Structure 1
Amino acid sequence: MLPGLGWPVELRVHPRARSLRLRLDEARGVLALTCPRRTSRRAALDWAAGQGGWVEAQLARIAPAEPFAAGTAIPFEGAEIMLHWEEALPRGPALTEGRLQCGGSAQSFSGRVERFLRREARDRLSKLTRQIAHDAGLSVRSVAVGDASSRWGSCSSSGAIRYNWRLVLAPLHLSRWVVAHEVAHLRHMNHGPAFKALEAELYGADPRPARAELRALGPRLKRVGRPL
């Protein structure tokens, strides 16, 4: 913690950073401070401590968390659906007629909703990934989901792809772009011209508008399901 800053600072040295950079990581509740290799830790923290006005303005813009509560709406594949609970309903969540409903204990409602959404994300993104990879003549070793704070997807050199489960909340064309991006990494483990050409081919359009749209929508998606 630094005086005058509302959130803790997490300092990371990055070998390619050319200047100090402070970013508000809303999902993790920290101020991420990126520091060039040859900048002293003390100098970096002193600089961050002087950014109180900027931090205060950023915190003021943050909307409150949106926990999974009965009677509220959440996005699902870009459309708003209602969360509905009745004790007498089956415990397993079911998506029907624009609402996600389940029964059982009210105290475990939030957890059951999140587990359902994670399963849906894994199943839907796995299917889409394998379809796009097959069309491109590429092989995927595995597909998994998590809740990374800053990345929507990642691809390892072994062919394992991992997504943020919150993509299931986003419009389908945004999920398709992220899948196309990660599948393109199966062939090109970089962001060079050949990668960008394959990414656009697999997505079927210019990826730049989708990238900008997801960047704008991302903060809201990452608030969904967070406790107050």
Structure 2
Amino acid sequence: MSTAIFEVVGLPLPVAVVRHHAARRLRLRIDHERGQLRLTIPPRGSARAALRWAGEQRAWVEAQLCNAPTGVSFADRAIMPFRGQPVTIRAVGGRRGVKLEGNAILVGGPVDSMRRSVERWLRRTAADQLSTLTAEVARSAGVSVRSVSVGDAASRWGSCSSSGAIRYSWRLILAPPQCLRFVVAHEVAHRLHMDHSARFRAAEEQLFGGPVAPARALLRELGPTLRLVGRR
């Protein structure tokens, strides 16, 4: 997969042309985090023709930008997603600490430390849940995992090295459980096949417990919003 960036007259964002071996048609989407349009084309497609087509999509692009997701701040009374459900952040004062109670995340300590406190708690919660689920799925696959860690990658929900080190985005804890399990199944399947072959896909679905397409599509739909949580 190769990428090149172009400016197209009439379009409000630069266009990243991505040649993908599996692409069968042109696909245009907005990458809100990078502030660009992502134009996927087949491996032998004409970049010039694809860019000309993209330039004709100006009305669609502008409409999408008007409906772009906005960030959620980690502030008192802010509503954010957690495990796919809306929860409200509430400052409770007193001793420092964060806990989930019903549909509220209760945050103690000074208000000016709320943002850091909430993010640390989310990262820790994500690391705990992802470590537990990864170990469970790895046991069912009969493979070992060297380590599990979390970060905040700009575009990837997970990665697996050839040595068995798996790294996830902590933001998966914001998504519905089926999205989190899909990513875990995907990365653990790479311990069996370090590619995206038919054998890999079969292992991925077996570890997930069924077809992964709905969970993958849901995560793709929610992704732009989840990646903006806590960024305001």
Q: TM-score range by the shorter chain?
A: 0.7 to 0.9
| Match among 105, 110, 115 for residue 110 of structure 2 | 105
TM-score (norm: length of structure 2): 0.81
Residue 101 (structure 2) pairs with residue 96 (structure 1)? yes
Matched, 1:214 2:231: no
CA drift of 1:59 comes to 0.5
8 Å contact from structure 2 (residues 152, 169) kept in 1: yes
User: Which one-letter code corresponds to 1:71 in the other structure?
Assistant: R
Q: Equivalent of 1:160, from 128, 153, 165?
A: 165
Kindly state the Cα deviation for residue 174 of structure 1 after the two structures are TM-superposed.
1.9
Map of 1:203 onto structure 2: 208
The 3-state SS of whatever aligns with 1:216 is helix
How many Å separate the matches in 1 of 2:217 and 2:42?
A: 27
Aligned to 1:70: 76
Instruction: Note if contact 1:11-1:35 (Cα within 8 Å) is conserved in structure 2.
Output: no
Choose the corresponding residue for 1:187, options 184, 192, 204. 192
2:87 is aligned with 1:81: yes
Report how far residue 13 of structure 1 moved. Answer: 6.3
**1:21-43 deviation per Cα after TM superposition (whole angstroms, max 9, x unaligned):** 65311123333456889999999
> What is aligned with 2:181?
176
The percentage of counterpart residues that share the same residue type is 52
**Contact 1:69–1:83 (8 Å) recurs in 2:** yes
| Aligned 8 A contact 1:25 1:149 in 2 | no
Alignment deviations for residues 26-75 of structure 1 (CA, whole Å, 9 cap, x no partner): 12333345688999999987776665333212212213222222112212
Shift of 1:172: 1.6
Within 2, Cα distance between the matches of 1:22 and 1:30?
11
Instruction: Please give the root-mean-square deviation of Cα atoms over the aligned residues, in Å.
Output: 2.8
The answer on 1:58 being equivalent to 2:58 is no
Using the alignment, how far apart are the partners of 2:42 and 2:206 within structure 1? Answer: 36
Cα 1:209–1:107 change in 2 (3 A) is: same
Alpha-carbon separation, structure 1, partners of 2:91 and 2:125: 19
Cα deviation 1:136-159 (Å, max 9, x = unaligned): 110111212222233221212221
For residues 143 and 52 of structure 2, the distance between their equivalents in structure 1, rounded to whole angstroms, comes to 49
Q: Is the 8 A contact 2:122 2:173 kept in 1?
A: yes
Q: Indicate conservation of the 8 Å contact 1:85/1:101, yes or no.
A: yes
Distance in 2 (CA, whole Å) between partners of 1:122 and 1:202 is: 20
The separation in 1 between residues aligned to 2:165 and 2:131, in whole angstroms, is: 11
Q: 1:151 aligns with which of 153, 156, 160?
A: 156
**Deviations 1:4-26 (Å, cap 9, x if unpaired)?**
4434x264664747887653111
**Code of the aligned partner of 1:176:** R
Unaligned 5+ runs, structure 1: none
Go from structure 1 to structure 2 and tell me whether the alpha carbon gap of 1:102 and 1:11 turns closer, same or farther (over 3 Å shift): same
